[in-house]
Chains A and B, each alone.
Chain A
Amino acid sequence: EVQLVEFGGGLVQPGGSLRLSCAASGFAFVPASMNWVRQAPGKGLEWISYITRGGTTIKYADSVKGRFFTSRDDAKNTLYLQMNSLRVEDTAVYYCAGDGGNSQNWGRGTLVIVSS
């Protein structure tokens, strides 16, 4: 069974940092490109980052560029999102999701609340 499980969400003050993890199992993670997607409360889906096999290519949405950093540890089948300089508008449920042929694979998300 394919599983993507996100960890690391929580409450953080504006300007703070948080690192999210996504543990993958049940599919071939190493060759898979992966995405981070977020959804603010009551709002639509927003793609925020993409990482290819081996971390060769990493892309970011303009809204997070320079503040968020995506990485992966293929030995641990884990995807990471380092979030710095957090803003109130970064409050959202953060999902990790497969790309391309794995796009049907989504985690259940982890909630990040940025508030003072």
Chain B
Amino acid sequence: QAVVTQEPSLTVSPGGTVTLTCGSSTGAVTSGHYPYWFQQKPGQVPTTLIYDTKNRHPWTPARFSGSLLGGKAALTLSGAQPEDEADYYCYLFYSGGRVFGGGTKLTVL
């Protein structure tokens, strides 16, 4: 089964910009993996921020954007807010099923 890799932790200053990435052990991440990004805050159920690489849900703040970057899926947060401090998980589709990345703990400090 594929392994999906993310940065374990990142820190961003309030108002700053940060990019989280998501790689696949099988090679480049493409739109065919339909990359999703989930946000999870302590004690809460995960919520979907981005689906199919770059599409936001109506509840997703515009400061979050998804893309493909250098063979990986990427989630960019522009203008970080204190409430963005959370765990972020990417999620990729494979023929054998689905795989979550290990998650990135984002600190806004």
Interfacial residues, chain A to chain B (CB-CB below 8 A): 35, 37, 44-47, 49-50, 59-62, 95, 99-100, 103-104, 106-109
Contacts of B97 in A (CB 8 A): 47, 49-50, 59-61
A-B contact count (CB 8 A): 47
Number of interface residues of B (CB under 8 A): 22
Stretch in contact with the other chain, from B11-19, B20-28, B43-51, B73-81? B43-51
Chain B contact surface mostly: strand
- Bound-state CA distance A46–B38 (Å) is 13
Q: Is the CB of B45 within 8 A of A109?
A: yes
Q: Is the CB of B99 within 8 A of A45?
A: no
Q: Is the CB of B102 within 8 A of A47?
A: no
Q: Is the CB of A103 within 8 A of B51?
A: yes
Q: Is the CB of A61 within 8 A of B45?
A: no
0 or 1 for each of B55-96: is its CB under 8 Å from A? (1 = yes): 001000000000000000000000000000001010100001
**A45, A46, A49, A108: most-surrounded residue (chain B CB, <10 A):** A45
- Bound-state CA distance A57–B89 (Å) is 25
Q: Is the CB of B51 within 8 A of A108?
A: no
Q: Is the CB of B103 within 8 A of A45?
A: yes
> Chain B residue with minimal CB distance to A93?
B45
Q: Is the CB of A47 within 8 A of B48?
A: no
Known: A50-B97, A59-B96, A109-B45. A44 touches B51 (CB 8 A): no
